[in-house]
Amino acid sequence: MTAFRLRFFIVILMVAFASGCANIVPPSGGNKDTTPPVLLSVSPKDSLLNTRVTRIEMRFDEFITVTDVSKEINMSPLLPYPLDAMVNGKKLTVKIPDSLLKNNTTYRISFGSSIKDLNENNVFKDFSYMFSTGNYFDSLKLYGMVYDAATGKPAADMNIILYDADETNDSVVVKEKPMYIVKSNATGAFLLPGLPYKPYRIYALKDDDDNLVYGGEEEMIGFIDSIVYPVDSVKITAPIVLRVFRELPLPDSTGVETDTITKKTSMRSRLNKRKDDKENTELGYTVSVDTTDVEKRVHDINKPVRISFSNALDTFNTERVFVSYDSLGIEVEAYFILERDTVPNALLLNTTWKENTVYTIRLLKDFAMDTSKVLAMPSKYIFRTKGDEDYGVLNIHVAKKYYGKKYLLKINTEKDSVYQKPITDTLVTLRRLQPDKYYMSIVIDENGNGKWDTGDLFAKLQPEMVIPYNDAIELKAGWENVIDFKEPVSEPQDNKARARGKSKTTPPVKGDSTGNK
């Protein structure tokens, strides 16, 4: 009996052991680390006077890495060369060339988002280090807002750059790096602190190549028409308003914009490419209609039908093209217009499209010929147009102060401009709009040419003002939306109006670095 009990006990132990082994669970990694590195010490300490700091050591509580040093770590006033930043475990060392430091100058080093922990890339944000080679800190400041001139909305991540106004003119932005730099935040606001009493030229720059100089129409630029002076308090003066824009490309000797020529040439080369080892005996083309199901409403009655050819088009014959529609079982010929598109390889066919109607387009043999005298072959397309129930309607109430030809109401989607006309009534109704997200703004058309005009830096020409409607409008098929055009809470101010204020052109009383006696 004792032996039986012993064997039974051993079996129970073996089963328990096997069961325990089968359920071994590896330890979890715990919660993901979301805490940025903590700065434990910095040497020399921050905010020293009468000091020429040439080496900064920053120690953190964990292993770190540094990225985008030339872009994220900025020193103001800017030095001719980027700072040398090196990581060793939990320590960051920054070296500053002593020979580049000026006397009696306040220096500020901003680290941006460059410092991160090694494993999870949690960012140690917005730290700045300051020292002065003189016996005081410059404490004046400039502040303001940056807007995208084309949309009227705040422009984030723009470089706000300052140049000494006594030594430069507008051409300096394409030749030299600035003295001071700071980026606009997510709301378009900026603050340049620690400035000495001086007149400055100020610009906003979308610096795509990160070289801190303006690259012409390839980049965005914003400016104001006169010099600015830093102030002691942001409460005593209106903010500086900068509106960034992209200049028009310079025309070539033929008077045609180079960018347009490049695009057309590229498109022509692409479309003229023929299949290898095959003789091209006919002109290929496509027609922008869906013929898969004649019961399906597919063609937008607001748009023409595009006929796109494989080669650049030479001639076309409208007498070889026929358009008809089904009217109660009777085929009725429709009047249409056939004209060239803006590119050399396409035609636009348009008529007064009837809603929810079956149309037939017949293209007879030789209706078109390319520049190599190759002729198009015949084809036939049957399709149905969309009906009113496939569209939405927008009713827009506009304030009386925007009534008049000077103000253009502009409606667009992410891809296309839908409507841009002078506001001739306080109620604007747009019918037959495709279901989509729509964006709305008012353009102040100063020159009365019926469109928004960009600026010109060297001609001192500001872009025309755009007042945005802040929210996207979601329009669905069969819906009718009523919208009150409301101005944004902080409508962009005109710097011409600001120039009339004393704070724009009159410096503070000269005394110490704050401008106080």
Q: What is the pLDDT of residue 509?
A: 39
pLDDT per position as a tens digit, 116-142: 998 888 999 889 999 999 999 998 999
Q: What is the pLDDT of residue 276?
A: 38
Domains and CATH numbers, the chain: 39-132 (2.60.40.1220), 140-247 (2.60.40.1120), 280-390 (2.60.40.1220), 392-491 (2.60.40)
pTM of the model: 0.72
Q: What is the pLDDT of residue 82?
A: 78
pLDDT per position as a tens digit, 147-203: 999 999 999 999 999 999 887 677 888 888 899 999 899 999 999 988 998 899 999
Higher pLDDT, 273 or 296: 296
pLDDT per position as a tens digit, 225-273: 889 999 987 666 789 999 999 998 765 444 444 444 344 334 334 434 4
- The 3-state DSSP composition of the chain as helix, strand, coil percent (nearest 5) reads 15, 40, 50
pLDDT per position as a tens digit, 304-325: 999 999 999 999 999 999 999 9
Work out the burial of residue 230: count CB atoms within 10 Å of its CB; fewer than 13 is exposed, 13-18 middle, 19 or more buried: buried
pLDDT grade, residue 492 (50/70/90)?
very low
Which residue's structure tokens are 């209106």? 238
pLDDT per position as a tens digit, 24-82: 445 555 677 788 999 999 999 999 999 999 999 999 999 999 988 877 888 889 888 87
Higher pLDDT, 515 or 150: 150
pLDDT grade, residue 87 (50/70/90)?
very high
Q: Is the pLDDT of residue 403 over 80?
A: yes
* DSSP 8-state secondary structure symbol assigned to residue 465: P
Higher pLDDT, 441 or 17: 441
DSSP string, 113-173: T-EEETTT--EE-S-EEEEESSSS---EEEEEEEEETTT-SB--SPEEEEEETTT--GGGG
